[in-house]
Amino acid sequence: MRPKVTLHMMSSIDGRINKVGWPLSADCEGAHEALHRDLRSDAWLVGRVTMAEFALGEVRRMPADRTYPRQTWKAAAAGMAPYAVYLDRSGCLHLNRERVNGDALIAVLTTYVSDDYIAELRRDGISYIFAGDAEIDLDRALHILRTEFGVETILLEGGGVINGAFLERDLIDEVSLLILPIADGKPGMPTTFDHNVVGARPLDLISVTTLEGGLLHLRYQVLPTNQNLDGGAVVATAS
């Protein structure tokens, strides 16, 4: 079994997620973080670009003095959940830290990454797993997180390309969406889901909560792709 995955995002009313230029109040950011805590997951997962926001200092590369086996390595200081998990197919992210917001880091890699990068992760105390050769196998990554780190619940928090990849693989169980009272409207901006091959997915509303400042918290269950919104199965008809 894989962990339960809940997508947890904050967006404008038109689905944009890039907050640059938004008139955000402290209440908006605070509400998102409060919901993150309330959802009580064993791990939160983001892509490389999103995790790069937490990098510290200058890049400090680490030349490897050996060839490392491409197998899971758990840092001594990793401890127990919650974990901060990020996907980095090529080994490009240099964080210079072992924790983010108090949560131990886990890098999801491919066997393509260099020994130098693995040495850097070990130096920084960042646990890592391998989930594919050239591309990350999301199903495999979730399986390893469950079986080797005991992760049973994950908050998926972007960006849009990562969210779309999970949606394509039917790996999202619930959606937790904080809608801000902001209309963005800029074309070409990242959205909650950005993926070329994802078809529409039906959702079942769990709850709607109005928060201070005009914010809305929406929760949905993601339905099987062959199910209509009224609960019935989709039936193909000939034209």
Domains of the chain: 4-222 (3.40.430.10)
- 124-148 mean pLDDT: 98
Q: Does residue 229 register a pLDDT over 70? A: no
Is residue 43 within 8 Å of residue 226, measured between CB atoms? no
- 190-215 mean pLDDT: 89
Task: Please give the pLDDT value at position 235.
Answer: 37
- 195-220 mean pLDDT: 90
H or E element that contains 28 = helix 26-39
> Locate tokens 């200058």: which residue?
58
pLDDT band at 193 (very low <50, low <70, confident <90, very high): very high
Residue 53 sits at the vertex; the CA angle it makes with 151 and 22, to the nearest 5 degrees, is: 110
- 83-90 mean pLDDT: 98
Tell me what the pLDDT averaged over the chain comes to: 91
Task: Please give the pLDDT value at position 237.
Answer: 32
Is residue 70 within 8 Å of residue 130, measured between CB atoms? yes
Report the predicted TM-score, pTM, of the whole model to 2 decimal places. Answer: 0.90
Half-sphere exposure of residue 143: CA atoms within 13 angstroms, side-chain side: 8
Task: Please give the pLDDT value at position 143.
Answer: 98
Task: Please give the pLDDT value at position 234.
Answer: 41
Task: Please give the pLDDT value at position 171.
Answer: 97
Tokens linked to 116 = 């130098």
Kindly report, residue by residue over 8-60, the tens digit of the pLDDT. Answer: 999 999 999 988 778 776 568 789 899 999 999 999 999 999 999 999 999 99
Is residue 37 within 8 Å of residue 101, measured between CB atoms? no
Residue 212 φ then ψ, to 5°: -60, 145
| CA-closest candidate to residue 142, choices 45, 3, 48 | 3
- 128-144 mean pLDDT: 98
3-state secondary structure 88-139: CCCCCCCCCCCEECCEEEEEEECCCCCHHHHHHHHHHCCEEEECCCCCCCHH
Q: Does residue 6 register a pLDDT over 60? A: yes
Cβ neighbours of 91 (radius 10 Å): 20
Kindly report, residue by residue over 96-110, the tens digit of the pLDDT. Answer: 999 999 999 999 999
pLDDT band at 230 (very low <50, low <70, confident <90, very high): low
Task: Please give the pLDDT value at position 187.
Answer: 86
Amino acid type, 63: P
| CA-closest candidate to residue 90, choices 107, 67, 69, 106 | 107
Residue 121 φ then ψ, to 5°: -60, -40
Rounded to whole angstroms, how far apart are CA atoms 193 and 196? 10
